[in-house]
Structure 1
Amino acid sequence: MRLADPHRSRAVLMGTSVFRSPELQPLPAVANNLAGMYQVLTDPALGGLLPDRCTTLHNAPDLRALYRHLRAAAADAEDTFLIYYAGHGLTGPRRHELYLTLTDTEPDELRVTALEFELISELFGECPAANRVLILDCCYSGRAAQPMTMAGDKGLILGQIDIAGTYTLTSSPANTPSLAPPGELYTAFTGELLSLLRAGIPGGPELLTLGTLYRRLHRTMALHGHPLPSQRGTDTAELLALSRNPAAHLPAVADVPPPQPVEQAAPPPPLTPLRKRGIPYYALRPLIWPGLALLPASLISRFVGGADSYGTLLVVLWWAWLAVLFVGLARAVPLALKPFRLQVDRHGMEMTCQGRAVALDWGQIAAVKIEPRGHLRRPALCVRPAADGSVRLLPASGRPPYREHGTGWIVLCYVKQLRLRPEEVRDAVIAYGGQRWRA
C-alpha cells in the first residue's frame, strides 16, 4: 500500500463539456471536475503528483492529437499511469463497445470522431508503468469494468483491461447512465470522489487506496440513490493509494445506516371542478323575493277584496314583476349553460366564469385572498399576479373575472357563486400555494 512515485508517474485528465452535435447536451460541470481532480492529485498533502506530470485536456477537438498525447504520456510513465475522463459515453451500434466523446463527436460517426475504449486498452498494454489506473465518469462506463468476450483468434475482450497491475473505476454499471445534475458544481460521481479525497475517512488508514475509495463510494452513492460505481482490478492494483487520508488522525465515526423512508401524508386532492350549474340564483334573488311578497296580497285583493284600485295596483305590480322575472330568466339561462368552475391544484389556479377563463400557474401568482368586492360587498376570490407574471389583461367590467384599476388585483369570482365556504378555498390555496395566501 503506497502512493504513486511523483517523479516516475504520469496522469492525464480528460473531459468534454461542449459539443458541436445538437444530439449531445453540454456538461458544464465537467470543467469543474477537471479542476478539482487536478487540485487534489497535485496537492502535496493529498495526491502528491508533480504539476508538470499531470496534464489536463479540456474539450479536445482532435482525436489524433489526443491519442498522440496519451501515447506519449503512457510511454513516459514508469511507476503509475492514470487516465481520468468525464463526459458523454456512447456505445457502438454493432458490438456495443464504449466510446468517449470529444467536442467534434458525431453519434453516427463514432469510429472516426470519438475515442474508442479499445485504444486505451492497447495503450495500457504497451505502457511500461507498473500500475495503470483508469477512472471514467460517463454513461455506460461500467462497460470498461465488465468482461464482454467476442469471437476472435485472440479472444478479444471489450470493455475490460486484464493487464497485470491495472485498475478500472467507473461511475455507473454497464447499461446505466451517469448523473450530471443541472446546476451542481460537479457531476454526481466525481463530486462524491472529490469530497471523499478532500475530507478523508475519520479513523481510517493513512492512505486512501483505490479499493477503499471504491467501497466508500459504493456506500455513499447507494445512500443518495445514485447509479452505483463499478471496479475491476488485477493483481494488487487496488492497493495503490490515490491520496493521503487527511482525516486519519480523527476518531472513527460509526457508519450510520441509511435513513428509513418516512411515509409522508399525501397532499390533499385538488379542488377538482367545483361547478354551479343551473340558473344563477344569486343574480335573480333581488327579483324573486319581491314577487313572492306581492303574490299573496295580489291574490287576496283579486279574489277576496274585489276590484278596488288598491287590489288592481297589486295585480299590476305582480304582473310587472313576473315580466321582469322572465327577462331575468332569459338572461340567466345562457349563463347557466356556462357553469362556474374553480380548480386549485399543484399547477396553479384556473377559473371559468360566465364564458371567460383565467388560468395562472403558481409562478404567476404573488398573493391570494378573499375580500368583499362589488356594490353588495360580497366575499370575492382575489389574485395578485407576480411582477413578472404574463397574465392576459382583463376588462374592468365589475363582473368577475376582471382586473381592478389601481390595485392590480384580479377578482376571479364571488365565493357564493361556487357554493363554497371561504375556508374551503383557503385550505386548498394553502395546501398548494403555501405562503401566497393572505389572511
Structure 2
Amino acid sequence: MSPEEAAMPDPRKSRAVLIGVSDYSRMHPLPAVANNVRDLAALLIDPEVWGLPRANCDVVLNPRSVDEVLDAVHRASTATSGTLLVYFAGHGLRGANGELRLVLPSGDQRNLYRTVGFDDIRDDLRAPDARAAGKVVILDCCYSGAADMGPADLIEEVAGRTAIDGTYVMTATTESRRALVRPGARYTVFTGALLDVIRSGVRNGPRFLTMETLFRQVADRIGSRGEPAPEQRSRGDGHRLAIVRNRWTPPPEPGADEPRRGAGRMRQWTAVAAAAVALLAVVTLIWRPWRVRDSPDSSVAPMQALVSQLDGSHSTAERRATVTAIGELARNDAASRPAGCAALQNFVVDLLPFPRVEPYNDPKLPPLDYRAPDVQDAVTELGGVPCPNLKMAEVDLRMAKLIGDFRSADLGWASLYRADVTKARFENATLTGIHLWQMNGKGVSFEGANFDGAEFSYTILAGANLRRATFRALVDRRTKFYYTDLRGADLRGAHLEGADLSIAKIDATTKFTGATADGQTLWPPKFDWRKAGVTT
C-alpha cells in the first residue's frame, strides 16, 4: 500500500463530536462558527463523504458547561472502536501554565473556570476505557488571549500536549480573531477551506483522502490568499488516517459513451478540434496585445490607480482626498463602481474592526469624524455612491454618521453606539447581533431588516419604519429593547418571537398590526399586545 493509500474506517463503528461556540457574552461573538459545525456535520453524514449515522455525529453548539463538552467526548471515546473525530471552533485562550483553554459562551480570560482545558480532552482520548483505533483532533481557535506570543509557539505546545498514539492533530494558526474570520463570511477561514476541500475533492487524488492530504490542500488554499497557514502533528500513523472520500471525478473522455465502431473517427475529430483550439489560442496571443494597445480600458485604469494610491497613502489628508476621488469616480462611472465600492468597503473594514476591549459604550469616545475622519469619509461615500450589498459585519461604527443608501448591507455584529443614521436607509439589511446603544434612528426605514439578537439600549426609533423586520432571539441571545423609544414606530408584520420589549417606550401610536410573537416575548406591564393586533 502506497503512503497515500488508506482504508476508510467503518462509519458504523466511528464517531464525531463537533463542538462550536458562536455566541459569547464576554468575548466577541463568532457567528460563522455555527455554520462551521452544521455544515461539517452534514458532510460527515453524507454517504458520499464518510456516511456516519446521524446518531454517531454529536453536535455540541454553544455548550453551557464544561461537563457538557467532556461528557460528549467521553461518551464517544468509549463507544468508538473505529475512528473518533473531535472538532472545536471558537475562541481559544491560554491558562496560567500556558495550556490551551477552549472558551465556552460565558468564559473569558478572567473566567477561565468557564473554559475547557484541552489537556482534559487529551487525557480522555488516551484513557484506559477509550476504544477508538484512530483519533483525529481539529482545532479552529482564535488566540485572542495570547497576543504576546506567536501562534506557531502555541501550536507546537498544543501538538506536543496531544501525546496520543495513532492521533492526528490539525490546528488553525490564526494570530487574532480578524485573521480567523472575514467580516460577513459564512465560515471561519480555516474551516471554510477544509469544507471546500471535502466538497470538491482532490484532482487526480486517491480514492480516500488521508489527513495529510487534506492538510496540504487546506494549507494551499489558505496560503494562496495570504492567510496564516495551518499546522499538523501526527502520532504513529495518524497522518494516514482517512475519514473522507475523494469527491473529485474526472471529466468523461470524449466519445466514451459511444459504440466502439467509429471510435477511431471520433479520436480523429477530437484531434482536429484540439489543433483548431491551439491555433486559435496562438492567434489570440498574437492579436490581443495589439488590441490592448489600440483600445485601452480607460474607464477602469483610473480607478485602479486611485485604489493603489489609497493603499500607499501615509497621511490622513491624502487618504481623505483619495477616498473622495474614489467615491466620485464610482458614482459617475458604472464600470469602475465595483472596484471602487470594494476598495472603500475594505478600507472601512480593515481600519475599524469591532472593539475587543470593553467598555464598548465609552461616553468619552470622540465622534468618528474626529478620531478617524478618513474612515468617516469612506462610510459617507459608500452610502452616497451607493454601493449594493455591502459587507461590513463586525465593524466599529461608534459615533459615526451614516448617510445614504445601505439597503441590503451586512452590518451584523457591528457597533453603532451613539451613531446618527437619521439620513440613511436600511431596508432588508442584515443587522443580526448589532449593538445600537443610544443610536439615533428616528424616522429611518428599516423595513424587512434582520435584527435577530440585536441590542437596543436607549435607542431612538420613534417614527421608524420597522415593517416586516425580524427581532427574534439568535441562538439564546434575545433581541433587547432596553429603554428604546418606539413611539410612533411602525412594526406591522414584524417578527418579535423571543424579543424583550418589557421596558421599551410604547404608546398608542406604535403600530403592531400583523406582528407575530410567542410565549417568550416580553411586553411592558399592562400592555395588551393582543388588542394591538399582535398574533402568535
* Residues in 1 aligned to 2:249 and 2:11: alpha-carbon distance in whole angstroms: 22
Decide whether aligned partners of structure 1 residues 250 and 102 sit closer, same or farther in structure 2, where only a CA change above 3 A counts: farther
Alignment of 1:165-244 (within 5 A): 165-172=166-173, 178-244=179-245
Decide whether aligned partners of structure 1 residues 28 and 176 sit closer, same or farther in structure 2, where only a CA change above 3 A counts: closer
Decide whether aligned partners of structure 1 residues 387 and 29 sit closer, same or farther in structure 2, where only a CA change above 3 A counts: closer
Structure 1 gaps of 5+ residues are 149-156, 252-263, 275-342, 350-358, 368-384, 392-439
Q: Which residue identity does 1:234 align to in structure 2?
A: R
1:233: how far off? 0.4
**Is residue 58–residue 72 contact of structure 2 (8 Å, CA) maintained in 1?**
no
* Deviations, residues 163-218 of structure 1 (Å, cap 9, x unaligned): 21010011116x66551111111111111111110111121111111000001111
* Residues in 1 aligned to 2:153 and 2:132: alpha-carbon distance in whole angstroms: 20
1:161: how far off? 1.2
* Residues in 1 aligned to 2:186 and 2:60: alpha-carbon distance in whole angstroms: 19
Q: Over the residues paired in the alignment, what is the CA RMSD in angstroms?
A: 3.4
Task: Describe the SS at the equivalent of 1:55.
Answer: strand
Q: Which moved more, 1:241-250 or 1:228-237?
A: 241-250
| Equivalent residue number for residue 109 of structure 1 | 111
Bigger fraction of residues in strand? 1
**Is residue 204–residue 248 contact of structure 1 (8 Å, CA) maintained in 2?**
no
Matched, 1:95 2:97: yes
Alignment of 1:276-295 (within 5 A): none
1:99: how far off? 0.7
User: Which among 1, 14, 22 is matched to residue 9 of structure 1?
Assistant: 14
Q: Which residue identity does 1:122 align to in structure 2?
A: D
Task: Describe the SS at the equivalent of 2:161.
Answer: coil
1:69: how far off? 2.1
**Is residue 146–residue 160 contact of structure 1 (8 Å, CA) maintained in 2?**
no
* Residues in 2 aligned to 1:167 and 1:387: alpha-carbon distance in whole angstroms: 49
Alignment of 1:117-132 (within 5 A): 117-126=118-127, 127-132=130-135
| 4+ runs deviating over 2 angstroms | 140-148, 157-160, 175-178, 248-251, 264-270, 363-367, 385-391
Decide whether aligned partners of structure 1 residues 82 and 246 sit closer, same or farther in structure 2, where only a CA change above 3 A counts: same
Decide whether aligned partners of structure 1 residues 366 and 77 sit closer, same or farther in structure 2, where only a CA change above 3 A counts: closer
Matched, 1:247 2:266: no
**Is residue 179–residue 227 contact of structure 1 (8 Å, CA) maintained in 2?**
no
Q: Which residue identity does 2:221 align to in structure 1?
A: T
Structure 2 gaps of 5+ residues are 1-5, 145-150, 253-303, 329-376, 387-402, 407-420, 424-536
Decide whether aligned partners of structure 1 residues 18 and 166 sit closer, same or farther in structure 2, where only a CA change above 3 A counts: same
1:143: how far off? 7.1
The higher-RCO structure (CA 8 Å, 6+ apart) is 1
Task: Describe the SS at the equivalent of 2:25.
Answer: coil
Task: Describe the SS at the equivalent of 1:108.
Answer: coil
Identity of aligned pairs, percent?
Answer: 33
Task: Describe the SS at the equivalent of 1:226.
Answer: coil
* Residues in 2 aligned to 1:84 and 1:366: alpha-carbon distance in whole angstroms: 43
| Equivalent residue number for residue 57 of structure 2 | 54
* Residues in 2 aligned to 1:243 and 1:10: alpha-carbon distance in whole angstroms: 13
Q: How many residues align?
A: 273
| Equivalent residue number for residue 45 of structure 1 | 48
**TM-score of the aligned structures, taking structure 2 as reference length:** 0.46
* Deviations, residues 218-260 of structure 1 (Å, cap 9, x unaligned): 1111101111001000111111112111114459xxxxxxxxx
**Is residue 380–residue 404 contact of structure 2 (8 Å, CA) maintained in 1?**
no
1:266: how far off? 5.5
* Deviations, residues 306-337 of structure 1 (Å, cap 9, x unaligned): xxxxxxxxxxxxxxxxxxxxxxxxxxxxxxxx
Alignment of 1:245-394 (within 5 A): 245-250=246-251, 265=305, 344-347=321-324, 361-363=380-382, 365=384, 386=404
1:361: how far off? 3.5
Q: Which residue identity does 1:184 align to in structure 2?
A: A
Q: Which residue identity does 1:78 align to in structure 2?
A: S
Decide whether aligned partners of structure 1 residues 116 and 361 sit closer, same or farther in structure 2, where only a CA change above 3 A counts: same
Decide whether aligned partners of structure 1 residues 143 and 346 sit closer, same or farther in structure 2, where only a CA change above 3 A counts: closer
1:30: how far off? 0.8
Decide whether aligned partners of structure 1 residues 129 and 265 sit closer, same or farther in structure 2, where only a CA change above 3 A counts: same
